[in-house]
Chains A and B, each alone.
Chain A
Amino acid sequence: DAGITQSPRHKVTETGTPVTLRCHQTENHRYMYWYRQDPGHGLRLIHYSYGVKDTDKGEVSDGYSVSRSKTEDFLLTLESATSSQTSVYFCATLGHYGYTFGSGTRLTVV
């Protein structure tokens, strides 16, 4: 969807390094979400935000932090990446008609 941009689209990083994934929206939506998708697990919620500087944990938040200093940007940070964090990460926003997802970021931790 043109209203949500995730960057980067692909990233390979080494174990122990910090990584930040960015989600940018142009729709001025209040709610934003980070999910990870793994085979056999579907999409699992990592963190979400219900406004600037207002965030909360999802079901798989360990090892991740988030920040939202502006309505349009929601950052996901892996402070020290581990191989178990190799996954596809999706950002989503909640608008009037429902959820809209970004195109995903494929992160590989080697």
Chain B
Amino acid sequence: AQTVTQSQPEMSVQEAETVTLSCTYDTSESDYYLFWYKQPPSRQMILVIRQEAYKQQNATENRFSVNFQKAAKSFSLKISDSQLGDAAMYFCAYRDDKIIFGKGTRLHILP
């Protein structure tokens, strides 16, 4: 069965600095999708970035980028120029026919 592991339950970063959230996954499939979701205190699940496994190029969305290492089954999220509004729970997720989530990393932004 597929699993998703986020080894950092909580992290803190100074405002305007860069932070990287780790995610590893386990699968025997070759074609799948990976996601990072953000959940602020409002509880809404917001898609941050997505990566197709067949694409070697790392996905980027403004200040958010990923380091996708398919052979190592690693999918880390880098947030540049951290802002107070980035404070949230971040979930890494894997999808083939259904989506499986990691347990989340709570990110604190220090002013």
Contact = CB atoms under 8 A, between A and B. Distances in A.
Interface of A: 33, 35, 40-45, 48, 58, 88, 90, 92, 98-99, 101, 103-104
8 contacts: A42-B91, A43-B91, A45-B99, A92-B99, A98-B33, A98-B47, A99-B35, A99-B95
Q: Which of B6, B43, B47 has the most CB of A within 10 A?
A: B43
Interface in B62-108: 91, 95, 98-104
Contacts of A104: 43-44
Contact of B101 (A40, A43, A98): A43
Contact of A88 (B6, B43, B100): B43
Q: Which of A41, A44, A98 has the most CB of B within 10 A?
A: A98
B44 A103 contact: yes
Given A48-B98, A98-B35, A41 B103 contact: yes
A33 B98 contact: yes
Interface of B: 6, 33, 35, 43-45, 47, 50, 91, 95, 98-104
Contacts of B45: 90, 92, 101
A98 B100 CA distance: 13
Could you tell me the dominant secondary structure of chain A's interface residues? strand
Nearest to B95: A99
Contacts of B35: 98-99
A76 B101 CA distance: 20
Q: Which of A92, A99, A103 has the most CB of B within 10 A?
A: A99
